[in-house]
Amino acid sequence: MSRRKGAQGERDVINFLRQRGHVVRRFLAGDGLQPGDVDGIDGLCIEVKNAKTQAMPAWLRQAHEEAGDNFAVVVSKPRGVTDPALWHATVTFEDFMTLWEKNV
């Protein structure tokens, strides 16, 4: 059940990104070395989570481990929210400040 929920969450995020004009696809489970769950946006590692129980510190660690030199973000589905545009995108404060400082 949880694997199916996770895969559905990834598909929802992929569809949202495609509607915004991005050419993306899911990284399918493999050797665990894929950079996140979404392929196709250079410089970005997107880890998608669709879980009843939040484990953000562990999810951020996972995203950072998979990101390498890419920017790591966790996209998580809040309970009861079906529209991926309203899901949460979480980064560490250090990553947020780095991103903000580059764009100021």
Domain ranges (residues) in the chain: 2-103
Model confidence band, residue 103 (pLDDT cutoffs 50, 70, 90): confident
Q: What pLDDT is stored for residue 3 in this prediction?
A: 79
Instruction: Say what the alpha-carbon torsion angle 33, 95, 41, 8 is, to the nearest 10 degrees.
Output: 70
Contact status, residue 84 vs residue 50, Cβ threshold 8 Å: no
Q: Does the pLDDT value for residue 32 go beyond 70? A: no
The separation between the first and the last C-alpha atoms of the chain, rounded to the nearest angstrom, is 43
Fold held by 2-103:
Trna Endonuclease; Chain: A, domain 1 (3.40.1350)
Amino acid type, 95: D
Q: What pLDDT is stored for residue 31 in this prediction?
A: 53
The pLDDT tens digits of the residues spanning 36-90 come to 899 989 999 999 999 989 999 999 999 999 999 999 999 999 999 999 999 999 9
Amino acid type, 38: V
Model confidence band, residue 2 (pLDDT cutoffs 50, 70, 90): confident
Model confidence band, residue 33 (pLDDT cutoffs 50, 70, 90): low
